[in-house]
A and B are shown apart, each in its own frame.
Chain A
Amino acid sequence: AQSVSQHNHHVILSEAASLELGCNYSYGGTVNLFWYVQYPGQHLQLLLKYFSGDPLVKGIKGFEAEFIKSKFSFNLRKPSVQWSDTAEYFCAVSPNTGGFKTIFGAGTRLFVKA
């Protein structure tokens, strides 16, 4: 069965620390990849997406993610986090089969200490 695995459920960092959140998926075909973020009290919103081309994707607020096809991974990174990055982050995968199914990971809660 298709699945998305996020390695860390909770991450605590100090401001200015570097961030890397892991995401691996299980699906052998072509995929579209997403990271969504949910800030406290707010809606889930798109952070960045990958569907083709340069495997290093840049998103909003200084986030980036790298698609490594051989590792079935799409890790999220930010060189220097801020207190305002405190949120829950969700990796999601959509098999590029023309359907509508998107499979989400369980999420990683990030807390950034000021």
Chain B
Amino acid sequence: ETGVTQTPRHLVMGMTNKKSLKCEQHLGHNAMYWYKQSAKKPLELMFVYSLEERVENNSVPSRFSPECPNSSHLFLHLHTLQPEDSALYLCASSQTRGEAGGPYEQYFGPGTRLTVT
């Protein structure tokens, strides 16, 4: 248990559905991330929120819409997805970087296995 939870763990949805993925962290971190993990490909960073502001958006299609209502919760709203969007979606959190710099290791949730039919 890493202190980052994700629901649901598995999701099957049609291309016309709308669904949301939820992530919650109990670590007191200020930054939260969404990653996409596809088979045999590197983790792809999708979005980063720091202090509830979006600070990274890596050219993700608009059918993925993130929401960060507070520093403990992160959502990924899904609509009109494509079959190629089927993947494991990972949420992570970390401390924001202080003035002294240094690495900010991320703590990952278990992921949501998404299948788009």
A residues near B, CB below 8 A?
Answer: 4, 9, 32-34, 36, 42-46, 49-52, 90, 94, 96, 98-107
B33 at the A/B interface (Cβ < 8 Å)? yes
B interface list, Cβ under 8 A from A: 2, 4, 31, 33, 40-43, 45, 48, 50, 55-56, 90, 92, 97, 101-111
Residue from A4, A44, A46, A50 having most chain B Cβ neighbours under 10 A: A44
Q: Which residue of A is nearest B99, CB measured?
A: A98
On whether the beta carbons of A107 and B42 are closer than 8 Å, the reply is yes
A67 to B: closest C-beta gap in Å:
12
Which chain B positions have C-beta within 8 A of A102?
45, 106
Q: Cα distance A65–B105 when bound, in Å?
A: 16
| Distance (whole angstroms) from the CB of B13 to the closest CB of chain A | 23
Q: Known contacts being A9-B40, A101-B56, A107-B42, is A34 close to B105, with CB within 8 Å?
A: yes
Partner of B31, one of A32, A44, A45, A100: A100
Q: Which residue of A lies closest to B6 (CB)?
A: A43
Give Cα distance in the complex from A102 to B45, angstroms: 8
The reply to whether A44 and B40 form a contact with Cβ atoms under 8 Å apart is no
Residue from the set B48, B90, B101, B107 with the largest chain A CB neighbour count within 10 Å: B101
Q: How many angstroms from the CA of A8 to the CA of B79 in the assembled complex?
A: 36
Contact between B40 and A99 (Cβ–Cβ < 8 Å)?
A: no
Q: Which residues of B contact A45 (CB under 8 A)?
A: 2, 107-108
